[in-house]
Amino acid sequence: MKKVGFISLGCPKNLVDSEVMMGRLKQAGYELTTDESQADTLVVNTCGFIDAAKKESIDAILEAARMKSDGKCKRLVVAGCLVERYRDELRESIPEVDAFIGTSQIDDITAAADARVNTRSLPVVTLGNQSATYLYDESTPRVLATPSHTAYVKIAEGCDRPCAFCFIPQMRGHFRSRRFGSVIAEARSLIGQGVKELVLVAQDSSRYGEDLGLKDGLADLLRELARLDGVEWVRVMYAYPTHVSDRFLDVMASEPKACKYLDMPLQHASQKVLKLMRRGGNRDSLERLIARVRERVPGVTVRTTFIAGFPGETEEDFQELMTFVRNVEFDRVGVFTYSDEEGTPAHDLADKVDPKVAARRRAALMREQKKISRRRNRARVGQTVRVLFEGASSETDLLWQGRAEGQAPDIDGCVLINDAPEGVTPQPGDFVNVRVTGAHEYDLVGEII
């Protein structure tokens, strides 16, 4: 029995691909190991979204190649978005790699890992013609890499949005939804394995079902999933602002197990910059959108992301973004500096912003958001919140930690637990009531009651 180790980089959508590949290999008789030094085969599932992610992926491939030359590893497979984007260059420059498989070749992992197969010449399916059709379904084996109480469910693949800064359509293909029944069946299976929190992911979750002829498919899906026996939370990630319907918000507000949490990347607030980004809208329309969300879903947590230093962004544009953030007071904000990606429309735009200026703007926006986040967190002191218990804190063994409904795994803060009644020893996956006694910029502090 050959041992296979995985290095999975990038977003949760990529992690689902890794889990499916692990499921395929386990089904084929391979043994999975978390100790990379003991692996006969190493699989690096790469991200190719922005420069920092590409560098991380290349570094991981080179480190795996070093392990192959120095250690037990005899086979190296590289998969994912970076392969779709730079397959020819990778083949030429890293001869230690035995096989490259693209994002629509997940099922080829068993051939890629088989030492009897000459996989150096395994063809990589190009997505340049938008011909990708791959979608996993409820019958596809998966090995969860998340804690046993949380699982990501990919409800669609690919993207048709024309965003000027993004290369994802070329790496993932056209938008395509999974069948409604397939998602429900997988959810039931995951709940049967002990999963309490389902996190729905896609490149564009809010368009779910459009290509299947469903009207407001995401609203129907969220309602159906939130009513399944055994599930406690259903969370939606990656909604697009123009497709957040009142019906979807009403389901979020009315279904107790639907997380009152909206992750909606807005990218900017200046009308000029949004037009350059090929997204549309302006500060007024976005402020009305957030007001509508908060009106229809009382207590909702709103998370967004912005890009600082997009080509053509002036200081006036950036100050408009700062004003927008101050006015709206988001609960969670992530900020990226613009990454100039070849093959995207933005790469050809004039008026590039100096990287140092972009970094300064990002830092200023994050400082502003820290103030907002700290203020909003402090307002929760004295409240009691329902928390999904996760175990020992990642920062210190002296504390426990968990997440409240408004905290998504890995990207948001957590609830640090410093006290509990005598004899109370919750297990990961349990839900506990926590009285908030303190607040940091991103984390809450409290005691189990």
Cα Dmax for the chain: 64
- Partnered with residue 31 across adjacent β-strands are 3
Dihedral over alpha carbons 282, 248, 238, 7 (to 10 degrees): 180
Residue with tokens 């958001």: 369
Query: How far, in Å, CA of 260 to CA of 375, rounded?
Result: 20
Strand residues in 332-398 grouped as ranges (E): 332-337, 384-392
- Which H helix or E strand runs over 80? strand 75-80
Q: What percent of the chain has pLDDT over 90?
A: 78
List, for residues 316-347, the tens digit of each pLDDT value.
Answer: 999 999 999 999 999 999 999 999 988 899 99
Q: Is the dihedral of CA 413, 419, 421, 426 positive or negative?
A: positive
Query: How far, in Å, CA of 369 to CA of 148, rounded?
Result: 32
In this predicted structure, what is the pLDDT of residue 88?
A: 83
Question: For the chain, what is the mean pLDDT?
Answer: 92
Give mean pLDDT, residues 205-215. Answer: 95
In this predicted structure, what is the pLDDT of residue 128?
A: 46
Q: Has residue 81 got a pLDDT over 70?
A: yes
Query: How far, in Å, CA of 165 to CA of 29, rounded?
Result: 42
Which residues touch 346 (CB under 8 Å, ≥6 apart)? 164, 165, 276, 277, 310, 311, 338, 340
Q: Has residue 168 got a pLDDT over 80?
A: yes
Q: Do residues 109 and 21 lie in contact, with contact meaning Cβ atoms separated by under 8 Å?
A: yes
In terms of Cα–Cα distance, which of 322, 338, 196 is closest to 259?
196
- Which H helix or E strand runs over 357? helix 355-378
**Structure tokens, 15:** 């992690």
In this predicted structure, what is the pLDDT of residue 377?
A: 95
Q: Do residues 197 and 148 lie in contact, with contact meaning Cβ atoms separated by under 8 Å?
A: no
Dihedral over alpha carbons 313, 314, 315, 316 (to 10 degrees): -100
Give mean pLDDT, residues 237-263. Answer: 96
**Structure tokens, 3:** 């041992």
**Structure tokens, 276:** 């350059």
Q: Do residues 393 and 424 lie in contact, with contact meaning Cβ atoms separated by under 8 Å?
A: no
List, for residues 278-291, the tens digit of each pLDDT value.
Answer: 998 999 999 999 99
pLDDT band for position 429 (50/70/90)?
Answer: very high
Give mean pLDDT, residues 360-380. Answer: 96
List, for residues 98-147, the tens digit of each pLDDT value.
Answer: 989 888 889 889 988 887 776 665 665 554 444 567 899 999 999 999 99
Record the pTM. 0.93
In this predicted structure, what is the pLDDT of residue 126?
A: 52
Q: Has residue 94 got a pLDDT over 60?
A: yes
Give mean pLDDT, residues 365-382. Answer: 95
Helix axes 355-378, 315-328, angle to 10 degrees: 10
Q: What's phi and psi for 273, nearest 5 deg?
A: -70, -40
Q: Tell me the H-state helices in 114-216.
A: 168-172, 180-192
- CA within 13 Å, CB half, 6: 26
Number of helical H runs and strand E runs in the chain? 12, 18
Query: How far, in Å, CA of 425 to CA of 367, rounded?
Result: 37
pLDDT band for position 171 (50/70/90)?
Answer: confident
| Sheet arrangement for strand 41-46 | 31-33, 3-8, 41-46, 75-80, 99-101
In terms of Cα–Cα distance, which of 200, 306, 184, 298 is closest to 249?
298
Q: Do residues 49 and 82 lie in contact, with contact meaning Cβ atoms separated by under 8 Å?
A: no
DSSP state of 267: B
Q: Do residues 206 and 244 lie in contact, with contact meaning Cβ atoms separated by under 8 Å?
A: yes
**Roughly how many angstroms between the first and final C-alpha of the chain, as a whole number?**
48
pLDDT band for position 68 (50/70/90)?
Answer: confident
In terms of Cα–Cα distance, which of 148, 202, 150, 194 is closest to 177?
202
Q: Has residue 2 got a pLDDT over 60?
A: yes
In this predicted structure, what is the pLDDT of residue 50?
A: 82
Query: How far, in Å, CA of 319 to CA of 325, rounded?
Result: 10
Domains along the chain with CATH numbers? 3-121 (3.40.50.12160), 150-378 (3.80.30.20), 384-448 (2.40.50.140)
In this predicted structure, what is the pLDDT of residue 130?
A: 45
